[in-house]
Structure 1
Amino acid sequence: MDVSSRPPPKRLTLAMIAERLGISTATVSLALRSSPLVADDTRKRVAALADELGYIYNRSAASLRTARTNIVGVVVNDILNSYFAELVAAVETELVEHQLTVLLCNHGDDFARQRNFLETLLQYRADGVILVPSVGTTPKDVTRLETAGLSTVLIAREVPGLDETPMVRGDDGAGLRMAVEHLIGLGHRRIAFVGGRSQSSSGRDRRRGYEEALEAAGIPVDPDLIFTELMTRNEGRAITDAVLARKPTAIAAFNDLIALGIVNELRRRGLEPGRDVSVTGYDDIEEASVWSPALTTVWNGQQEVGRRAAAMLTGILQGRAPEQRRILVTPELRLRESTSAPAA
């Protein structure tokens, strides 16, 4: 028999699985969606037979029936930064427990890349998104998502003017203020601030915390000791010469990556971090505590931020309004080896 003349294989359907198991098609559909309305034993039997027969659940068709796709987007600006990797891991753990599938976007502060990903989520009728907004994001960009039915929770950064959009982040101003107050308490007066984007809320808030701590101690803010528009370890390395030329005795970095880049370069120049120049970071990524010298830094609550943002979004998807729309996680100063009193 000519292979081309064979009839196409019969497509597996929910009804076929239901008939084999002696249950209703509706029960099979609920079981494949891991619905709590179906007993564990029945769910396992359905899943086992579907796997045996090679059945692929048609999520698109199901979404037309239920108005849900169980897809959630998670959008961050730098997945290579361990802070965001740890945050995303916490988000995913929470969402997976609610049988939600996570799609990840790393926009790198490229607004066009963020926009394209969000458009894709809308086209595929995703249920929601947890978003670190890129530089250039406006209130209109976010309200458009919500109007289109994409439930949105902001994390790590705010977009001014979005009072009703749920948001979870660390208290950036308070955290950087803690770090600078610690350095002032050690006796430092020439303290540089390195990093952050002036167009992001975290960049503005941490710089504000730096300036508030200096002003409260009666120390004039010196613009020559402020270096912004930097985010990465390599940028921390590259800026070190320019920072040292200003003769600081201490450096408060915007994040741990910049701080570790500076620590690297100090060592290469024969300077000992924590003795010749004190350095503080921000975020308390895992690497900070095992580096040599261990980095004095500010814990930014990445797991807490991720967990609470995911819980907030799942609550919204289940029809519950958030009890709080704006959550600030309180930071903590972690004292280690990279800070000490100024060298004589």
Structure 2
Amino acid sequence: MNLSQLKYFVEAVSLGSFTSAGRNLFSTPQTISKAISELEKELRVQLFYRKGRQVEPTPVAKLLAHKASEALSCIEDIRIISELHASQKSQRGQLCIALAISPYRGGLELGPCLQDFKDAFPLIEIESFSNFGGICKTAVQDGFADVAITIGRFEGDGIECIRLFEIEPFIALSKLHPLASEQEIAIGDLAKYPIAVPSDLGYFYHLLKSYFSERKTTPKFEVIAPSSASHLSFMMEKNGVMYVSNNPTLFETYQGIILKKPVVEDRISLPVCMVYSINNSNPALSTFINHVLTNRHLPERIGAAIESD
């Protein structure tokens, strides 16, 4: 039994004619008839009633043709998937990815996700850089970067912004902070202490202010100098607090701090978005977008503090 025999058999059952099947498959009625006879001998069942030049599929032939059709479809799927995989492996190109992050709130770990993409498309060269959200977005607009990963939606002429998933920030504070013994922290409790508002977290800053306003609470926001030492001093010496990602690397940067979850009703969801220009004709960009959108394990593979203006 071979694929050609199955194709001839399915077509002959469908059309009820060896001549019509041969015409559709660019073969002769004699070839179709021979293939059917060989199948009948192998399967030891009669597949067609023959009356002169007229043929009619038997009941068992109709049942077997249905199964054969399914098998041929599966084989075609295998062929298509194999060809797609082969084309991926041979696709060439270059892609520049801008990661909008805050270096003082836990790094964005895109390594596993990028490795997935590299494994699927090994001939596409990837260049990535990290910077503040506004700079990354400008890089996309000006064509210096193909795509940016940011927090918050970004609207602009010719810009496409796709929400990927959401993250919830944690609260970082000193182990000696008065709130350190709390399991979870409410926004109302934070109003008693200074809250870090660096210039690189504009989107979240405005969102946080609205949360305080809705709860009729006045926060003590304080701008911190852009250095790890300044942020650590703020938390250790001033009992200051700051919103960060749940990222283990923070404990290497800030020794002596702990992370706390906000209470359920005060948790803030921040959208992580993929931003790119609709006028960007780079084929590697389209490939990357399709890869990201079809791999929904992305949130688990990103260990997340991303920032946006």
| Structure with the larger strand share | 2
TM-score higher than 0.5: no
Bigger RCO of structures 1 and 2 (CA < 8 A, at least 6 apart) = 2
- TM-score bracket, shorter-length normalisation: 0.3 to 0.5
